[in-house]
Amino acid sequence: MQLMQATEEENAFVVFTNEEQQCLQHLNTKYEGATDKLKNPHKPKSLLWSKWIIARIGGWKGYSSQRPPGPITLKRGLDNFMQIFAGWQLAKNVYIDVGTQ
């Protein structure tokens, strides 16, 4: 519900840890499109910036002509993000462990 009521002034640290925000930064480049209409229009590391990425993961197309993402889209996006984040952490830890041996 915090994502539904997000404002530009709120920092993403309200909802996401520093490591989750790093993952979101990597995902932002994947989910942004080639055109200006599909770029994340929000200030990096703001809650609206995070909401935009989570909504895209949840299936929202990102066009301004569309309705804003709803709670079901955000829930779907958060569920998918948590799975992506778990895999991202696992891959990061495996890479670090292999690199130190």
Domains of the chain: which residue ranges?
Answer: 12-100
Q: What share of the chain is helix, strand, coil (3-state, %, to 5)?
A: 60, 0, 40
User: Residue 25 CB: number of other CB atoms within 10 A?
Assistant: 13
pLDDT band at residue 87, thresholds of 50, 70 and 90?
very high
Average pLDDT over residues 5-13: 77
Measured CA to CA in angstroms, residue 81 lies from 22, 60, 78, 92, 93 at distances of 12, 14, 5, 16, 18
Reported confidence tier of residue 14, pLDDT bands at 50, 70, 90: confident
Instruction: Tell me what pLDDT residue 95 has.
Output: 65
d(Cα 95, Cα 73) in Å, to the nearest integer?
32
What's the pLDDT score for residue 13? Answer: 83
Alpha carbon distance 31, 55 (integer Å): 10
**Looking at domain 12-100, which of 3.40.50, 3.20.20, 1.10.357, 1.10.740 is its CATH number?**
1.10.740
CA 52 to chain centre: 7
- Does residue 44 or residue 100 have the better pLDDT? 44
pTM score = 0.84
Q: Has residue 23 got a pLDDT over 90? A: yes
Q: Please indicate whether residue 81 or residue 32 has the higher confidence score (pLDDT).
A: 81
